[in-house]
Structures are given as C-alpha cells and as structure tokens.
Structure 1
Amino acid sequence: MTFAGAKDAVESINNYAVKFGYKIKFVKNEPHRIRVVCISERNCPFVMLASKGRESEGLVINTLTLEHTCCRQIEVPSTSKKCLANYFKEALYRNPRFSSKDMQGHVKDHLKLHVSLGKCKRAKRTILAKLQGSYKEKFNMLVGYIEKVKETNPGSKIELQLSKDELANGMRVFKRLFVMLDACKKNWIGGCRPLISLDSCHLKGVTFGVLLTAVGNDANDGVVPIA
C-alpha cells in the first residue's frame, strides 16, 4: 500500500486505531518515514513501517504485522479533536443543532469509545467555524456570479438584495437573491399552461432560510422551473 504522503498515512493509521479500538504510538513520524507500534498491551506484535519509495513520491509500507494480542480499548488517544471533527463534519453540515452530548453518545454507541464532553465541544466549534467561513467565502462570490450570468445569458433577470440593517453599519450581508434565466422564461411562455405555482423548500445547514421556486406545468404535467 502506498500513501500520498506522511499526512495521509497518519490520518489513515489514526482512523484504523479509532475503528478497532487500539492504542497506537508513532515511534517515528517524519516526512519520509513513519513507524507505528501498538501500546495497548506490553509486547503486542503489531508494527507498521512506511518510508519513501524509490519509484513513488508517496510513502510505501515496508513492514506490516497486523496481529494484535491486546483487547479492544474504550479510550484511544487517536480520538482527537481533529479526528472527531472529520468524523462529524457531514452530520453537522446536515444538522448544525446536533449537540455535543449527542456526539459523545454517538461515539460511545457506534465506535465503542469514551471521549470527554469537552473534546466533543471543541470538535463542534472547529467544524462550525470552518463551515461558516466557507459560507462567507461563497456569498462573497455572488456578485461575480451575477455578472457572469448577465454576460452569458442575455435577457436573464437576477437581483441581489442585502440587509439594510447591516448596510447601516457599513457591512454587506446577504439577505435574498432572485434568479430568472432567460431560457426558463421563454420555455414557460412558449410551451406551458398559463398558470404559475409556488414551491418552497426549507434549507438546513448553517444558513437555514427558504428556497422559493416559481414553477409551471407543461403539456405532460411535468414541472417546469421559471424563477
């Protein structure tokens, strides 16, 4: 097996330790060489050595003994804040109200491990900070997106509205966006019944809000988005 680099190797080994409940120790953790042993019990034969290959840019496993004489542990050092953040990233993306206590219970029930509530709280703060940061970056790109739509889709109507309260404080904060592509408008006018309905979808994640869609029906009763 070949890893892309030391970072990839360390992450994979830590995931292995968390999944099977082993206490591992990195005897060597260098950019070109990694050596790992199990310290769950004295004289446990597990060992892994990976180093930079001659024909590969990554780290290649040279020595591997997967046998363990130790029992599964309920406390594993590899269950770090970073590990928990990676594990719960998708769950918190879908439901930011997923509590730290729920995270702790999930680890106990599904991974058979014990982690402190404080570590779960720190992991949750890390995930939410990254998610909110990525959302802010995406919202800052909206103005460029609007200009690109107007350039590549002549006749389209697109309007961005900012929060008046935040504008008074000198901040540009997103409030709502209206988009009607010219092709959708012509499609509805040219081949749909003269009836417009409104569909709504409540958004989850960090931002919440509602996605409203004006839709029409074609001759086959198919739903056609308008705006």
Structure 2
Amino acid sequence: MKTQHNCTRSFINALALRKWLTEKLLPEIMKKPTMSTRDILSEVRKTWRLEISLDKGYAVRRMAFDKIHGTYKEQYARIIDYAAKIARRNPGATSLVTHAGGRFERMYVSFPACTNNFRYCRPLICVDRAHLKGHNTNQILTAVGRDANGQFFPIAIAMVEKECQKIWLWFLGLVLEDLGGRQASISAIMKKQHDPADYVDDCYKPSTFLKHYSGEVHGTNSPNQWPVTGLAPLLPPPL
C-alpha cells in the first residue's frame, strides 16, 4: 500500500459555469462597477481557489453587466426614451436621436449649462473624435472649449456611425445652433490631410469669394492718354 502521494493539486475546474459565477459575483460587481476581467479572475482565485480562463472571466463580466444595465439590444431599445428624459430634466437641452429603417443611426446631446456658459470661455472650439470599444463600432465626436483657467469645457457630444465630411457638417451645424447661430467669421486649426473649405458654409469658401470678385476692374493710364469727350469742362467746388 502506497502511503505517500506525489500528485499535484489542480485548481482548474471546467465545471465552474459562467452562470453560477455570474450569480455569485454579481453583488461584488455592483459595488465595484469598474471591476476588470483580471479583477474577476483574482476574486475567483481568492474566494474559491479556482483558476478560470481569461475568456470565461470576460464572459462573466459581460453577463453581470447585462444583468445590471440590460443587454446591448435592450439598451438601444430605450435610447429614444433616454434622449427624451435628458430633454425633460434639462430644459433647453438638445437631445437628438436619428434612425434609419428602425435602426439607430446617431445621437447628439448638448446641455444648456454648457452652451449658455460658453460665452465666459475663450472664443475657441476644439473638436475631436474617438472610436468606441466593445460591440459598438460607432465613433464619438466631441466639441469642447477652454475656460479662463485653461481647462477643457464640454460643449456637445455625439455618437455617429462613422467619420466623414457629411457627418462633421451635421455635428458642427448643431453645435453652432446651440451656441446662438452662425458667426460672421470663423478660424480653424485643422489636420494637414483635411481641407478647411470642406467643413465651412459656402459663404466662406474661396470659390464664393472668387464669384463675388469675378468682374475685372481695369486701371487707367496717364491723363494725356484719356480720350476727349467733347463736353464742357467742369469747375472745381467752391472754396
């Protein structure tokens, strides 16, 4: 009979189901909404002395967030209600959702607490975009100002299907309306690969400028080369 064993203990348990782990970890995730996948792996290791894969940890986190916030589809099903709630809670806010064929397209939000107080900021608007992570492949467009302390001051934000000239014009048009309408002049700092003329109103484009001054103004030569009209010469104004 063998009295000594040299076999190792395995902490990997494939029977630790995602649903069971989600139910056990849900209260902890609700208390710590920023809990990452690796935090979940660490919590499982500490509480049950189990090793689960990174994929299973991610799935548990995703299932927990679906229970807390609703699934991906459930959240988009309420996005129009969400926009309406923003408008009701913030009179004067712009909360706009567009859709095509019953499918979400883009959303724009600005709050009067931001747009009304922009007049106290420096007369400069910075715009940028960023990709969303996760299931959503849309992009975020933002417009911010700079306050008297040199800090960023939020003006408006939008979630759009992609970045292109048409959508930038849509976004910037809404921003200008929320700030009180179009101004007489505009200055822009652009990336090298962008042409500012593609993003401004037609009245600012060089082509419009050239149309206004398309007629030629010809100079005159010296007086001795002027033609004689034959009319009586005029007297100067009285002194």
Q: What TM-score do the two structures reach when normalised by structure 1?
A: 0.44
Asked which structure has the greater RCO (Cα within 8 Å, sep 6+), the reply is 1
Q: TM-score, normalised by structure 2?
A: 0.42
The structure with the largest alpha-carbon Rg is: 2
